[in-house]
Amino acid sequence: MKILLLVAPYNPCEYYPGHQAKPSRLALNKNLGFIPGATTPLGPLYVAAVLKKAGYEVKFMDGIFHSWEEEEKIIRDELPSVIGISVTAFGFERTKRLTAIIKKISPEIFTVIGGPYPDAVQEKCLEDDPNLDVVSIGDGEYTMRDLCYALENKKDLSGVKGIAFRNGAGRIIKNPSRPFIENLDELPFPARELVDVKKYSPAIGHYKKLPNATIIGSRGCKGQCIFCHTKIFPDLYTRFRKPEFVVEEMEKLVKDHGIKDFLFWDNNLTEDKERIIILCEEIIKRKLNIIWSGGTRADTIDEEIITVMKRSGCWKLLVGVESGSQKSLDILNKGETVEQVEKAIGWIKKAGISVFATFIFGIPGETYQDALKTIAFAKKLDPDVAKFFTLSCNPGSIISKKVHEYGNMPLDSHAQSFHAAGFVPYTMTHAELEEVFNRAYKEFYIRSSYILKRALKIRSIEDIKQNIRGFFAFKQENY
């Protein structure tokens, strides 16, 4: 059985403000724009690895590098039995366009989707897309394997756990849930041989050297933030890979692809203190000679963790600050204090690790004055990179289930992005939200002290390229 896994064609610039999305010749892919980037999609490649291990012929096509015409031609040439599509909320409308193309090519091709959006709305995807055959819900690796086995052997799909499907009579059936994979170490490494790893480059601020590779050491997060998509399954706990196994994967990527810089996609690298220390010590022991970065929470780090991370090659940590107002942090259910954030960022800076801080506007109950406090707090913290977002009601998040308690949604879930003011709290107008979003970038980045600091930290050609791209992103927009 021939299986094609893919992502529908898209341009990441669609999710960025115009001034950040202008095409840039300084990007690895000039169509990615000044700010956006592209990282290897690990979800589909994990699925591909399990399918290949089961003996199936699998190919992968990433829509970020293909036009609609190119994807259609590849599907016509390959004529796979099954096509699996990875989908986010922002990409569902494109996926519907793609499934229509697939069924036009051949009604016999079986269409399956999985990812954050299907996890959130589940069988509703089938109601909204008549060309869709199956929705995979939860961890997709074994679900896709069992589904392909059932199709190949003409078995009843009612025996495949973790799916919703359309039966022969057109009726939508939802099967029992599949238990989540507890032992992530039993999964093979992602099938990166199906992509050209060196074609990928993260957004500016997220890499220092190329080639860069994304990697993940855990799934889930113990946090309860109301905006996070990881709360789709509220009882799901964090599952960890063994640190030694993660570093073994890193070592393989260094040998096979010459990777110099790793970007961890874990929701919180430091959730388990003992584990992150073991991981860092394993990197040091194997003398990998790499650098790496990832995300953390202010309430799960201390000076001991930061010290060993730095020694192992950590050059940047992303910290979700979100707000300079304790009231807003409490509403978001962050479980952190403003004081904890200040202390944590102080430790990171002291260790010589760069800080990438994120901030959110449009929080329920937030006023324009509260938002100005966040801008002031961002300048006080003075991270190396500050990224400002508007609150997005991701399907499946806690806030998405009671949006109208907190505000209005001028954009539906498929039109939202983290920059499009898709949610507006009752305590702020749409105009105020857009104004404070633009004001934040201007006040933070157009500071002589910040510009000087950035200039003094330039150490490589890649640093120069990223600084130039960032400069032109703002030069082309009149704030």
249 and 137 within one domain: no
CA quadruple 411, 415, 416, 421: dihedral sign: negative
Q: Is residue 313 part of a domain?
A: yes
The reported pLDDT for the residue numbered 453 is: 87
Last residue of a domain, one of 134, 154, 174: 174
CA quadruple 400, 406, 408, 411: dihedral sign: negative
* pLDDT tens profile 187-242: 999 999 999 999 998 888 889 999 999 999 999 988 889 988 777 776 778 999 99
Please state the rounded mean pLDDT for residues 69-73: 96
CB of 47 closer than 8 Å to CB of 5: yes
The pLDDT of residue 20 is above 90? no
* pLDDT tens profile 299-330: 999 999 999 999 999 999 999 999 999 999 99
The pLDDT of residue 475 is above 60? no
Across 13-17, 38-42, 233-237, 283-287, least confident range: 13-17
CB of 358 closer than 8 Å to CB of 321: yes
CA–CA gap between residue 95 and residue 97 (Å, rounded): 5
CA–CA gap between residue 309 and residue 313 (Å, rounded): 7
Q: Is residue 188 part of a domain?
A: no
235 and 107 within one domain: no
> Helix axis angle, 430-445 relative to 368-381, nearest 10°?
20
268 and 134 within one domain: no
Residue 65's domain is classified under what CATH number?
3.40.50.280
Structure tokens at 170: 């057109």
| Encoded amino acid at 206, one letter | H
Q: Is residue 412 part of a domain?
A: yes
Domain that holds residue 18: 2-174
Domain count, the chain: 2
The confidence band for 474, taking pLDDT boundaries of 50, 70 and 90, is low
The confidence band for 25, taking pLDDT boundaries of 50, 70 and 90, is low
Q: Is residue 112 part of a domain?
A: yes
Q: Is residue 285 part of a domain?
A: yes
* pLDDT tens profile 336-380: 999 999 999 999 999 999 999 999 999 999 999 999 999 999 999
The reported pLDDT for the residue numbered 32 is: 54
Q: Is residue 16 part of a domain?
A: yes
The reported pLDDT for the residue numbered 169 is: 87
Instruction: Check residue 188 and report its DSSP letter.
Output: P
Q: Is residue 460 part of a domain?
A: no
167 and 230 within one domain: no
* pLDDT tens profile 141-176: 999 999 999 999 999 999 999 999 998 888 999 999
Q: Is residue 450 part of a domain?
A: no
248 and 136 within one domain: no
Residue 280's domain is classified under what CATH number?
3.20.20.70
Q: What angle do CA 33, 37, 41 make, to 5 degrees?
A: 145
358 and 425 within one domain: yes
246 and 149 within one domain: no
226 and 125 within one domain: no
148 and 32 within one domain: yes
153 and 104 within one domain: yes
224 and 115 within one domain: no
217 and 269 within one domain: yes
CA–CA gap between residue 333 and residue 421 (Å, rounded): 21
The confidence band for 458, taking pLDDT boundaries of 50, 70 and 90, is confident
Nearest to 204 by CA among 467, 449, 381: 467
* pLDDT tens profile 361-373: 999 999 999 999 9
